A and B are shown apart, each in its own frame.
Chain A
Amino acid sequence: MSFINRDTWIGLVMMLVAAVYWLEADKIKISPLDGPVGASGLPKSLAYALGALSLILIGRSLVSALMTPKSASEKAADEPSLADTMRPHLRAVGMLGIGAAYLLLVSWLGYIVAIAALLLAVSLYIGAAWTFRTLLIAVGGGILYYLLFVQFLGIPLPPGKIPALLGLG
């Protein structure tokens, strides 16, 4: 039987965050303009507060686990498989990855191409079929966004290096 449940882990991680934050706060320079508290005063207080809250959370979750322990068989019956649990999170990471890829590529490809690629990638990723319609929506959407942001609102979105190299910029 394990008493380390989810809230205990959260408490431990938050405790670590509080400790790292305190250490970083301790490095803040002292200024002659600092008042009685200084620039590191509030950050250190916040680190203590987070540490204290983490301890309460850990304590509460341990007490809760002791009061209502689950047997191994109950646990096995309750919990979905690891693959089922992880699938949506991995998909969320993939979505972030598409966003990061857009940010890496937009300076090279230029806004109009990159945003159309983003529309296509996200549509396919969330479940659209790889059809001419999807491609058309992505290209049309890219042009629409370009007209709205660059032409209508006058936002200087990245023109891209590749279009310039090809003499299109």
Chain B
Amino acid sequence: MEGLAHAWTALTTTPAIFAAFGGVAWGILGGALPGISPSITMALLLPFTYTMEPITAIVLLASTYVGAEYGGSIPAILIRTPGTNAAAATAIDGYEMHKQGKGGEALGLSLISGVFGGLIGILCLILLTKPLAGVALYFTPPAYFSLGILGLSVIASLSSGSLIKGLMAGVIGLMIATVGTDPVAGVTRFTYGAPELLGGIPFILVMVGVFAVSELLVQAGEPGQHERTASRQMRIVLPSWAQFRRLTKPQLIGSGIGAFEGCMPGAGGTIASFMAYNEARRWSKTPEKFGKGSDEAIVAPEAANNTVAGTAIIPVLSFGIPGSNSTAILLGGLLIHGLQPGPLLFDQRPDVIYGLFGGLLVANVAQLLIGILLLTPAIWLVNRPKPYLMAAIYALIFSGIYSIDHSLFDLYLVLIAGAVGYVMRLLGFPFLPLVLGLVLGYLIEANYRRSLLLTGGEHRVFIEDPISLGLLITALVFIIGSGIRDYRDMRKKQAAADDESEA
């Protein structure tokens, strides 16, 4: 009841409700643009949240995530080009339905199952976040250090690409985090006389650079148009009650998988939606329709990736460890406003936590309305020529980043981060460990040095603390497991090459 009161107060005394509506709208439009992922959509918004109240800013970012997950299904259904990675599973049957003249119905199914999945995700978020955050109350500085190491190891292990490159990206992120004033003695490091670097490199600059600018650089390398849809006007056809009831099973399958996958670091909406697609087909009475325009094949992945939008926030709020690019941006939004996730946040800023829960609830319901209203503008946007869209996004980045500190120096840093992101893409390095290393750098170093201050430099403390030991062992298990997977992949490739040469 107390939480409900906090949520009500937060939503009625701040512009958080408007932020929920605005975030969903921005998310749908951003998600609808092929190549613009939910994390890029959120990163573009991040500079504008600086001057907002914390609750408004966090609801805006989280609602953008919600909207983008639905928005991605619009081009997936209309032009078989998923706006987001998670919508790739939707494209299979969604586009088939569109070809059969049932595009409006497919969009309606996507919208309704997205709202359904989103509400399940919020329910999990509300029920699981506080108990999990309570665990963190037992954490000591060595345990916090080990938690940071675990977070980095898990993300590096599960990110796309090789384990070693994932770990390297994490280390580079930590290296970037060491720029500026150190967290214990106040000594300046790697600033080279630039006063702008005394406070460190703000992670917002790195996030916008590696996610958004690097995507623009990739797009610049591939001139030409993305596919357009002939359907300039389309009406969403919402499913009837009977159809909705018939589709309950695949929706529950999708939501169940989304709830589980969302809590797992590195898994995310893409894996959840493909798993949901497969499981829905396995449990379907008409599996032969999958791939030919099955309505079950749309609702399962859409319910899954929208559930993930809620459950992926659980590890962020409980431990401050994001499991995906989008939640890393959300964590960035929390830290920008001085909000350190964890159990203390429930005591210190319940308005933010419960306001976020309330805001997400509003966002999901708003998605139903905004999804219908914004379909025509979204189709219009999908049909805009790529050069104008990319130019507008580039200009938005330059204007938005400048508005944070009124500094041109920041913009140079964004360009450098963009170049680094481009090179990372090129060489197969995942982004998330880099961003996570940067975000967790302070937590890791401060707790590492505090632990050693308490013990006079004895590193034993990290294995004497039972929680710390457990976390370090888990990190090791992930690294070894991932190493074995990499080795097996290498052997498989070698075997395939041998077979080819013999043939």
Q: Does B138 contact A (CB under 8 A)?
A: no
Q: Chain A's nearest CB lies how many Å from the CB of B355?
A: 24
Chain A, residues 129-165, CB within 8 Å of chain B (1/0): the string is 0000010011001000100110001011110000000
Q: Chain A's nearest CB lies how many Å from the CB of B495?
A: 9
Q: Does B493 contact A (CB under 8 A)?
A: yes
- Given A28-B189, A67-B494, A115-B399, CB of A92 within 8 Å of CB of B218: yes
Q: Is the CB of A36 within 8 A of B178?
A: no
Q: Which residue of B lies closest to A116 (CB)?
A: B395
Q: Which of A10, A21, A29, A127 contacts B223 (CB 8 A)?
A: A127
Chain B, residues 165-186, CB within 8 Å of chain A (1/0): the string is 1011001101100100010111
Q: Which of B171, B189, B392, B490 contacts A53 (CB 8 A)?
A: B171
Chain B residues within 8 Å of A2, by CB: none
Q: Which residue of A lies closest to B404 (CB)?
A: A155
Q: Chain A's nearest CB lies how many Å from the CB of B289?
A: 40
Q: Chain B's nearest CB lies how many Å from the CB of A45?
A: 9
- Given A91-B223, A115-B395, A118-B391, CB of A126 within 8 Å of CB of B402: no
Q: Is the CB of B457 within 8 A of A37?
A: yes
- Given A57-B168, A118-B394, A141-B391, CB of A126 within 8 Å of CB of B386: yes
Chain A residues within 8 Å of B419, by CB: 96
Q: Chain B's nearest CB lies how many Å from the CB of A50?
A: 5
Q: Which of B69-77, B122-130, B447-455 contacts A (4 or more CB under 8 A)?
A: B447-455
Chain B, residues 418-461, CB within 8 Å of chain A (1/0): the string is 11001000110000000000000000110011001100110000
Q: Which residue of B lies closest to A97 (CB)?
A: B415
Most buried by A among B217, B220, B223, B403: B220
C-alpha gap A23/B57 in the complex (Å): 41
Chain A, residues 14-50, CB within 8 Å of chain B (1/0): the string is 1000000100110011010111111111110010011
Q: Does A103 contact B (CB under 8 A)?
A: yes
Chain A interface category by residue count:
35 or more
Q: Does B398 contact A (CB under 8 A)?
A: yes
Q: Which residue of A lies closest to B219 (CB)?
A: A126
Q: Which residue of A lies closest to B167 (CB)?
A: A53
Q: Is the CB of A118 within 8 A of B398?
A: yes
Chain B, residues 196-217, CB within 8 Å of chain A (1/0): the string is 0000000000000000010011
Chain A residues within 8 Å of B456, by CB: 36
Q: Is the CB of A126 within 8 A of B220?
A: yes
**Which residues of chain B (360-400) have a CB below 8 Å from chain A?**
385-388, 390-392, 394-396, 398-399
Chain A residues within 8 Å of B394, by CB: 95, 98-99, 118, 122
**Which residues of chain A (81-118) have a CB below 8 Å from chain B?**
87-89, 91-92, 94-96, 98-100, 102-103, 106-107, 111, 115, 118
C-alpha gap A24/B390 in the complex (Å): 38
Chain B residues within 8 Å of A137, by CB: 388
Q: Which residue of B lies closest to A95 (CB)?
A: B220
Q: Is the CB of B415 within 8 A of A149?
A: no
Q: Which of A88, A96, A127 contacts B386 (CB 8 A)?
A: A127
Contacts beyond the supplied A119-B395, A157-B399: 5 A-B pairs with Cβ under 8 Å? A95-B216, A118-B398, A123-B390, A127-B223, A141-B391
Q: Would you give 5 A-B contacts (Cβ < 8 Å), ordered by A?
A: A57-B165, A88-B222, A91-B221, A98-B394, A115-B399
Q: Which 10 A-B pairs have the closest CB atoms?
A: A88-B221, A36-B457, A122-B391, A126-B387, A92-B217, A128-B387, A95-B220, A39-B187, A33-B185, A127-B223
